[in-house]
Structure 1
């Protein structure tokens, strides 16, 4: 095990691309659904069309080159290789910012946000808005190594991110996250991880109290309706990954179409769209994200975080400064009233007009503006 940080280059052998194509070509498709909507899952025609693009019209190599050009680096923390993007601003005094993705996202969620963060003057900001950006792959996701023993919970990941930032020489830094990234970032705040001066969440984690349920206001009614929809219609994937990640992992690692259906459905369900995932996210960007799961065989190892940490997806009291942004199609919304009980120094609460669960991916300009406001309020 080494504590050094080293450059890392990722090149995918052509044999891996060819194997993907062979597997897609050999797919045994199910019959068509018996309804005319998405209530039984991804419609057959929609997934066939998406997979046809992946198979016949998508080029991985440009994204591979982009990843390698972003300061891709590696270090080992507690026996696990942590791979991450490290993009420094030209402004030496820029704020160091750690960004953590979730499932079924990846480091590529932040692709369009990176230039806006590191070069703000080219994107409507000033030098004071500049950030040095660090974007690690979660353990078991994409480029990072896969833990071989249980115990890599979000609490441990939060500590590992503190180690990472210290190795990079950042004595004072900020953290941001949504989805599992929100859970990790919440733990950074709860544990007061050394060096972290404040956090931002685009999925603040809070729960109602009995009195909230007895007399809910408009924001609370909306949140409660979203929570009910999630529990009744949208949480099957999480229960499977929480209880039997190994079982579902066999399908996700072996079948590209199975993996595509598992993830593409969330691109549809969790984005702010008009009926198609492609209304919110480009097909190529969805294929890029999918490739990080397929090429690294991460179907089981990424699902395992649910088994490890689902109980840790809970509110926590945080005494360091917190900013939060609420996007209208967030799957687990939390009204400010609920969140204020846990964040004693809430410096920013943004309510946005558009965007969904993948905030940085769907609305990079809005997302970056929210970060500028949040962290400017912490200086």
Structure 2
């Protein structure tokens, strides 16, 4: 692959790697049991349950086939491979929609919304709402990694995504992002504002929660109880690299704890989808390279928002943060604000139906 060429891609993990994962899981060296009071992270017993499923009841080949049911591409941008699902709608006039994941997510997050968004007529919807989908693996994540160098800030990722979308032939498009996808989407609206018709996010980085009691409570709890992973990855990510690469149980505990703490307790996150998401990190060895994003962002200038790109925000009650609406309205061209009745940080996995309807409505508002 050279120059600006975009080539088809299929996930094809060697059977030796699949067998090695199962073998390592069965040979996990578990910590000695202790009687411990208080919240100290994901319980070891829960991790043991998940690893048991991962080693025996979960079927990578079935999950691989589910990924390969969707067209995928790869191209080289700025010295690294960039992978994406590229799902063209059967409706030729469909609006292009870019879906951006974060950490510890992947393109696997969006599998339950691809069909309803790209082909609504086949899922009980209006064909006029169809969109073409571009779902990149962020550089350093999954099939876009590991990256060969450092410096992959959200802004650099945004430029790579803009180049990918242009190579795919989409001139004007809408962007949706959650978690780090919100950061990359924000920077994409700045870097490629002439082509971004609208930006929609489920997490709103930047605006301070001052003066908004609900936002302040969320931010305080995150700082007090939930931010340990970010402090490690933002200061000493290399300390994690061997464990995330050599121990699938360790990787799973690190990832699954985020899902346990960031989702709505009433959400029914599919366990096999969670395990497949972790497997993508495992098979591609991108646990370490994805973690570098925290360090890179901490050592980069503080970015701003575009005031020119129409922006929509969806607030989920169990997400990590609650954005202060007044502060967001001062920072962006806020054209849409929706408060979901349920759901948490991983909207496409937790409340796919609500997210589909929200994105359809937003695309109608900014691009039709």
What is the TM-score when the length of structure 2 is the normalising length? 0.95
Instruction: Please name the residue that 1:335 is paired with.
Output: 324
Q: 251, 265, 270: which one pairs with 2:243?
A: 251
5+ residue gaps in structure 1? none
Does residue 352 (structure 1) correspond to residue 352 (structure 2)? The answer is no
Q: 289, 293, 296: which one pairs with 2:284?
A: 296
Instruction: Please name the residue that 2:125 is paired with.
Output: 125
5+ residue gaps in structure 2? none
Cα deviation code 1:237-270 (max 9, x no counterpart): 0111111111111111110110011011111000
Instruction: Please name the residue that 2:28 is paired with.
Output: 27
1:245 and 1:372 map into 2 onto residues whose CA distance is 38
The offset of 1:370, in angstroms, is 0.8
Verify the 8 A CA contact 1:205 1:313 in the aligned structure 2: no
The offset of 1:327, in angstroms, is 0.5
Does residue 189 (structure 1) correspond to residue 181 (structure 2)? The answer is no
1:137 and 1:166 map into 2 onto residues whose CA distance is 16
Written as runs of structure 1 = structure 2, the 5 A alignment for 1:1-379 is 1-35=2-36, 39-208=39-208, 213=210, 216=211, 220-274=212-266, 279-310=267-298, 316-343=305-332, 345-379=333-367
3-state SS in 1 of match to 2:81? strand
1:129 and 1:14 map into 2 onto residues whose CA distance is 40
Out of 313-322 and 22-31, give the one that drifted further: 313-322
Verify the 8 A CA contact 2:25 2:248 in the aligned structure 1: yes
Verify the 8 A CA contact 2:106 2:277 in the aligned structure 1: yes
The offset of 1:146, in angstroms, is 2.3
2:34 and 2:113 map into 1 onto residues whose CA distance is 38
Q: How large is the RMSD of aligned CA atoms in angstroms?
A: 1.6
Q: How many residues align?
A: 365
CA 1:369–1:17 in structure 2 vs 1: closer, same or farther (change >3 Å)?
Answer: same
2:325 and 2:3 map into 1 onto residues whose CA distance is 43
Cα deviation code 1:58-82 (max 9, x no counterpart): 0011111122221111111011111
Cα deviation code 1:155-176 (max 9, x no counterpart): 1111111111110111111111
Verify the 8 A CA contact 1:206 1:338 in the aligned structure 2: no
3-state SS in 2 of match to 1:81? strand
2:307 and 2:155 map into 1 onto residues whose CA distance is 14
Cα deviation code 1:341-360 (max 9, x no counterpart): 111x2111000100000011
Cα deviation code 1:285-332 (max 9, x no counterpart): 111101001111111111011111245676524321111100101102
What is the TM-score when the length of structure 1 is the normalising length? 0.92
1:203 and 1:314 map into 2 onto residues whose CA distance is 15
The offset of 1:125, in angstroms, is 2.5
1:67 and 1:24 map into 2 onto residues whose CA distance is 23
CA 1:179–1:69 in structure 2 vs 1: closer, same or farther (change >3 Å)?
Answer: same
